[in-house]
Amino acid sequence: KSPSRSEFSFCNYPYVYDPASKARVLQMENQMAQYNELQNALFRGLFSGNQQVDLCPFLVLKVRRGAYLVQDTLIQINRAKESDTLRKPLKVKFLGEEGVDEGGVQKEFFQQLVKELFNPDYGMFTYDEAVRLHWFRASRLNMETEFELVGVLIGLAIYNSHILEFSFPLVLFKKLTGMRPCFQDIQELFPDIHQNLSKLLQMSEEAIAACGLNFTVDMECGFGEIETVDLKPGGAQINVTCENCREYVDLYTQHLLHHSIQPQYAAFERGFLRLCNGKALSWFRPQELELLACGGRQLDLEALENATIHDDGYTRDSQVVRWFWETVHAMDDEGKRRLLFFVTGSDRVPIKGLAHLNPPHVISKMGGDSDRLPTAHTCFNHLLLPAYTSKEMLQDRLRKALEYAEGFGLL
């Protein structure tokens, strides 16, 4: 073979892969990296004379619930960054609880941490009820460590094959893939501003002059503090006209989506790239990266039903199983999401779809007719369903089970 001749590989043409195939390749890449890190940890334990070397083959996070969750996570993530152990396979332990992490505890850890970090009261992100999207809060406060933690959190979730429950606009994922924000990106996050700027581009010279605009913008720099910022040097002395209107819109766009939140985004990106910098991730388009990180919102429970495995005496045609799916398909969207959360630990749909849950969804018999509630092993996507004697009893017990679906204790 000629040394100048390169081997052909479909990996050089990522556009031929669908999102699910890209996700499978990324998962293999991450598993190889985790195996290498685990092997390195074992070798360090065997051959290193340094007693301070971390010999554990896993990245173990021991955290408390509630007000201490962010603080505990922040301290241990910083420690892992300093010791370069973020790439180890993740294990999570909630202090005071007996749950063993085979995947399900991690899911709840990510869900609870996201809930804390993305709470507007925490001061890091804004949330617009009208568009249902989070965005970085423009501020002079130094919270780079916290924003880097959020980036690491998303990277850890992708690296360990979990999806997170937050809602960022697509422009964030465009920025993470190296694309420059454009005017159209404002529409999803700031629809009113996009509408007003679009009208401005259509105005006559007289109408623009009547608006009295110049190349400045008012920016919130703290909690309620407003500061006027130049969009370009000397912007306060430059009036907006027909000739420079497009430049004004472009600079306004870059201010909203880049300059005003640059310290926060830079820290976030730095954390994200600590784990998500492999070759396979570069194949993803922004829309695909969003699906990978956050999962989809389109529920196809018929696909889940068709892919479900039945065990311990149940079959697809068992009366209780049929009642169960009849009840599920009659639920509203919120009920279906609660059920998905109850069984899998998340109400989001993986990038490969519900028919390709890993491990597959299983329904098993849990004894005969009783007053017991259905239970689930979220780490195995495994539903334990008693053999109820009536559809009404099944509906009642399932409703109650969904109401109490949080926490990891052993019965």
Residues belonging to the active site: 379
Q: Which residues contact 171 (CB under 8 A, 6 or more apart)?
A: 181, 185, 188, 189, 257
3-class secondary-structure state, position 364: strand
Alpha helical stretches, state H, 242-318: 245-257, 262-273, 286-294, 301-307
In this structure, what is the dihedral angle of CA atoms 17, 37, 70, 108, given to the nearest 10 degrees?
Answer: 60
Place of tokens 């390169």: 6
Distance CA 381, CA 91 (A): 18
**Neighbouring C-beta atoms of residue 30, cutoff 10 Å:** 21
> 8 — alpha (psi -120 to 50), left (phi > 0) or beta?
beta
Distance CA 245, CA 72 (A): 49
Q: Strand ranges (DSSP E) for 175-267?
A: 216-220, 226-230
Distance CA 24, CA 9 (A): 16
Helix-, strand-, coil-residue percentages of the chain, each rounded to 5:
50, 10, 35
In contact, 276 and 159? CB cutoff 8 Å: yes
Question: SS3 string of 38-80?
Answer: HHHHHHHHHHCCCCCCCCCCCEEEEECCHHHHHHHHHHHHHHH
Q: Count the alpha carbons within 13 Å of 300 in the hemisphere toward its beta carbon.
A: 13
Strand partners, 375: 384
Q: Which residues contact 334 (CB under 8 A, 6 or more apart)?
A: none
